[in-house]
Every structure is written in structure tokens, then in C-alpha cells.
């Protein structure tokens, strides 16, 4: 793993007079998967959008490969960083293949011709995500989980080295979640970096190299999942008591206490 690829330093953001973030800092390196956890309303999506340059911080800076994010220009940023939002509604019934192919736009532009190599890239991405069978179906007619996979495919087709994922497991069934975790690990091994928000501590344990906990507008704790994701931390974040359970494979899961 090389040095930092995407860095947010002392980021602050206000909305309607309320402090959403108040000095949050987050770093992601190439080949690293970083999970961002926090309660609803803690500012996870806001922090991700600041890292992408979609929002302007009231204080603090974002750096991409050591240079201020805004110094790169929007087209370069789009080529280097891909964003997958939690929800997306398509205004037109594009085919799934065409949605994935939208990831080519930062390189081809709206009116650029799609080369044979580009079409092969789209097919390869859909194959990796196991959605090739959806290629010729309208995006508006597939399930929410299938739409999420198509959006992740669009980000991969973009060829970006950094992917910012806002709760990427939303709408995915258990099998699709496990396949996506395996894919993230494989892509990280190829040198891509990921920052993803999640509400599932298990996903952070299984998929991520590092975990950051967003609390009261700041990163309250950060480090390897085994060190940061304690039962006390989960109770502090979500207000629920849990016990840690370790599987035979050495993976950690959490079981709530005193349900009912």
C-alpha cells in the first residue's frame, strides 16, 4: 500500500445553522478499504460529498495525491474518483448496459465514440458483478439491489483509482453482499482505494483494512477493525448493547443483547 491518495483535513460543514461536521479528518491510501460508521444524521454522507468536492467545507481542505482537490479540475477529479450514492432514480429507462457505460463519460465526453475496447470493459465489469443477464433490461424495471450493482458497475467502468461508496450494501441480498465484499478486496489488491459508509460493523470487519467512527462531527476513533469496533464503541454509536462472536474462520460478528 502506497501513501495517502485522498485526504480530508479538519473538515467542517454547517447546514441550516447546525454543525454537521466540526473538524473531521479522514485519510485513504491506494489499495486500502476504509469504512466510515456513524449513526443516522451523524454526517457520513456529508463527509463523503466533501471528499468528492460536491460540497465546499466551511473549514478544512481536501487533498488528492498531495494537491488541493480543487486544483485538479472537475474532469480530472471525475477520472480519478468515482462516487456511488446510496439511492438513485433514473429519469429515463436506460438499459443497464447503458447505465454502466455512463462511467466512460469522463474519458469519452458526451459525444465521444465508444470504442470496441470500451464495450469490452463494460461487459467485463458486468461479468465481475454477476449482472450480465441484466444488460438489456431497463434500469427502471430492475430491483433496488440490482440498481445498486449497476451503479457500482458504472463506477468501475469509469476506471477510477478511488471509489467513494455511500452504504453500497443497501438493497443487496446476503449473497450479493458477500460477493461485493469479495470484489472490494480483489479490487483493493489491484491498487484501488475505497471509502465506504456502512451501518454494519460485520461488513467493516470482513471488508475493510481500517475503520473510522464519526461522532459529534469528528472522527472519534480510527484504526484496524479489530481494535476500533469494540462492543463499547457500537453501544456508543448506536445505543444498543451487543456481544462479539468470533466464527471458526476468525471473522467477528455482533449479536444484540436483551432483545424483547
Q: Per-residue confidence at 194, pLDDT binned at 50, 70, 90?
A: very high
Strand ranges for 116-190 from DSSP E: 162-166
**The pLDDT of residue 96:** 94
User: What does the block give as the cell for 180?
Assistant: 461485493
Could you give the number of structural domains in the chain? 1
**The pLDDT of residue 222:** 95
Residue reference for cell 465506504: 196
Q: Per-residue confidence at 110, pLDDT binned at 50, 70, 90?
A: low
**The pLDDT of residue 166:** 93
| HSE of 235, CA atoms in CB hemisphere, 13 A | 10
Angle CA 163–48–59, to nearest 5: 135
Residue reference for cell 462472536: 245
Higher pLDDT, 90 or 232: 232
50 in Cβ contact with 20 (< 8 Å): no
**The pLDDT of residue 3:** 59
148 pLDDT exceeds 90?
no
Work out the average pLDDT over 246-254: 78
12 in Cβ contact with 21 (< 8 Å): yes
Work out the average pLDDT over 173-198: 91
Whole-number Cα distances in Å, 206 to 148, 154, 181, 209, 252 = 20, 24, 7, 9, 8
- Taken in order 106, 149, 184, 255, is the CA torsion positive or negative? positive
Residue 68 to residue 115: CA distance in whole angstroms: 33
30 in Cβ contact with 192 (< 8 Å): yes
Q: Per-residue confidence at 1, pLDDT binned at 50, 70, 90?
A: very low
**CATH number for position 145:** 3.40.50.300
Higher pLDDT, 3 or 49: 49
Residues 58-104 pLDDT 10s: 999 999 999 999 899 888 888 899 999 876 666 678 899 999 998 88
112 pLDDT exceeds 60?
no
41 pLDDT exceeds 80?
yes
User: What does the block give as the cell for 130?
Assistant: 454477476
Q: Which residue range is the domain that position 98 belongs to?
A: 4-256
Q: Per-residue confidence at 109, pLDDT binned at 50, 70, 90?
A: low
Work out the average pLDDT over 212-223: 95
Amino acid at each position: 500500500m502506497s501513501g495517502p491518495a485522498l485526504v480530508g483535513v479538519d473538515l467542517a460543514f454547517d447546514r441550516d445553522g447546525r454543525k454537521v461536521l466540526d473538524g473531521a479528518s479522514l485519510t485513504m491510501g491506494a489499495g486500502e478499504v476504509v469504512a466510515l460508521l456513524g449513526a443516522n444524521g451523524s454526517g457520513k454522507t456529508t463527509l463523503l460529498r466533501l471528499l468528492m468536492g460536491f460540497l465546499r467545507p466551511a473549514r478544512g481542505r481536501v487533498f488528492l495525491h498531495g494537491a488541493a482537490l480543487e486544483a485538479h479540475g472537475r474532469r480530472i477529479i471525475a477520472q480519478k474518483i468515482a462516487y456511488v450514492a446510496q439511492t438513485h432514480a433514473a429519469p429515463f429507462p436506460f438499459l443497464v448496459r447503458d447505465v454502466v457505460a455512463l462511467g466512460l463519460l469522463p474519458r469519452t465526453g458526451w459525444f465521444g465514440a465508444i470504442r470496441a475496447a470500451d464495450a469490452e470493459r463494460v461487459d467485463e465489469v458486468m461479468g465481475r458483478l454477476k449482472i450480465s443477464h441484466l444488460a438489456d433490461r431497463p434500469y427502471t424495471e430492475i430491483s433496488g439491489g440490482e440498481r445498486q450493482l449497476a451503479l457500482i458497475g458504472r463506477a468501475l467502468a469509469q476506471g477510477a483509482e478511488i471509489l467513494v461508496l455511500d452504504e453500497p450494501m443497501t438493497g443487496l441480498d446476503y449473497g450479493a453482499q458477500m460477493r461485493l465484499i469479495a470484489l472490494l478486496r480483489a479490487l483493493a489488491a489491484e491498487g484501488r482505494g475505497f471509502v465506504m459508509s456502512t451501518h454494519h460493523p460485520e461488513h467493516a470487519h470482513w471488508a475493510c483494512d481500517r475503520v473510522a467512527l464519526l461522532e459529534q462531527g469528528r472522527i472519534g476513533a480510527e484504526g484496524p477493525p479489530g481494535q476500533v469496533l469494540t462492543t463499547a464503541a457500537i453501544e456508543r454509536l448506536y445505543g444498543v448493547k451487543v456481544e462479539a462472536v468470533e466464527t471458526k474462520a476468525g471473522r467477528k460478528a455482533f449479536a444484540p443483547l436483551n432483545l424483547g
